Amino acid sequence: MLRPRTGIRSIIANGGIFGLVYGGEAALRGLYAVIIGIMLGPGEYGAWSYAATVYATALVVTSFGIESLVEARSGRRLTGSDTFAAGSLAIRLATAIALFICMVPVVWLLEQDARLQLALLLVLPAILGRGIASWVRSLLTAREAPGVAFRVGVPMRLIEIVVGLTILSAGGGVISLLALHALSWLAEALIGWVAVRRLIPGFKPTFDRAVTRLIFLSGQLMAVTVIGIAALNALPILAAKWLGFSLDEIGNLGIVLQFSSLFVIAAQGFLAALFPAIGRAAQSGHPHLARLAWLSCAGLVLAAILAAWISALVGETIIVPLLGSGFREAAALLPISLLLAGVILAPIGAWQILVVHERFVAGALGSCAALVLGIALLVPSTDQFGIAGILYAALAGWTLRAIILMIAVTRYERATQKPT
């Protein structure tokens, strides 16, 4: 394993390699989205987006912020980090299995469209695979093992693309692709588990009373936070279906959200590498962590504005020839979705600082307030702007969350620096 670096060296070195992991995965997902969008058309892609959104949202709701807690505690080199990791994995497994068992009858009873019902049932096993794979990535981030993360994550996305394109070429459709998606996450979970066992010999999930208590005590506010974030992430696609937009329109919305998520995923490598360094800096009492949060916030917002401006200029000339005339509406939605990605990412540095100091109230308040605002704006916004109004409502919600977190981290730093 790589020797942990400290401070800026840790951020640059590990962030660069994690950037390759997440950036490479983002590029592969983007390529896959483009190809299946072309081959399936907006209606089928709409079904893909809806099914993937439902299971991913359900997965995040049961995470209790475990991944963030693993990164924060291991990054700070706290005593008992291995015990905490083992206990957190046991809880992650238990919640993922319980969610899977509960979701099957819920989908069976509540989804009236037979085709979407089948799509959801086939993709539900990804709850188990992706839940464990996400935990593995968090542990590898905390242990600053970016090379291992690269070998685990990127090849599975590449295999999924190759097999998926083979299925499409043979006449398969979105149902087959969703089943493959679930299998790929199960495979990544298995490979990731093997990698963790090699990194920490003898490691196994073990329920620990103290760890369980810590997670659920911290998790009360953390759970509110992640549920709010999951709902905000799912809001555009689920709202589009609930408000009666067609699968073709949902497909246009889904493809631009996929493109904007590339911006989010590609940035996550560098941002994830901040966590261990921030944890050590917090433990040593570094006085200016909030400055790092503001710098990352400003840089991410400026990058999003630039990306949105470029997409407004050239989006239609690229998207329509690339995806076909059925995705013409996606060109108009792309600039808004890129701004949305920037606002989602903007306060991540602030949230990481608050997490390592175990200040969870701002996260819960921010996500709840953002969700309420986003939902409140849905109907008037869609009445005025159509399906684009969903993105405007989500943008307003995420902006409010960013403001709350940036204010919170600034106030916390000022409070801790007051002379005694």
**For 404-415, what is each residue's pLDDT tens digit?**
999 998 887 777
Phi, psi at 67, each rounded to 5°: -60, -45
Q: What is the mean pLDDT of the chain?
A: 81
| pLDDT given for residue 266 in this prediction | 65
Query: Encoding tokens for residue 112?
Result: 């009236």
Q: For the residues 7-11, what does the mean pLDDT come to?
A: 49
**For 313-348, what is each residue's pLDDT tens digit?**
988 888 888 888 888 899 999 999 999 999 998 898
| pLDDT given for residue 390 in this prediction | 96
Residue 238 has pLDDT above 80, yes or no: yes
**For 152-196, what is each residue's pLDDT tens digit?**
777 888 888 899 999 988 988 889 999 999 999 999 999 888 888
Distances (CA, A) of 94 to 38, 69, 72, 207: 39, 17, 22, 10
**For 340-397, what is each residue's pLDDT tens digit?**
999 998 898 788 788 777 777 888 899 999 999 999 999 999 999 999 999 999 999 9
pLDDT band at 57 (very low <50, low <70, confident <90, very high): confident
Torsion, CA 258, CA 260, CA 262, CA 263, rounded to 10: -170
| pLDDT given for residue 283 in this prediction | 56
Distances (CA, A) of 189 to 62, 93, 131, 192, 312: 17, 11, 8, 5, 39
- Whole-model pTM above 0.85? no
Long-range CB pairs of 66-70, under 8 A, 24+ apart, other chains included: 66/91, 66/92, 66/135, 66/138, 66/215, 66/219, 67/134, 67/135, 67/137, 67/138, 68/138, 68/222, 68/275, 68/352, 68/355, 69/214, 69/215, 69/218, 69/222, 69/355, 70/135, 70/138, 70/139, 70/142
Residue 275 has pLDDT above 60, yes or no: no
For residues 235 and 53, is the Cβ–Cβ distance under 8 A? no
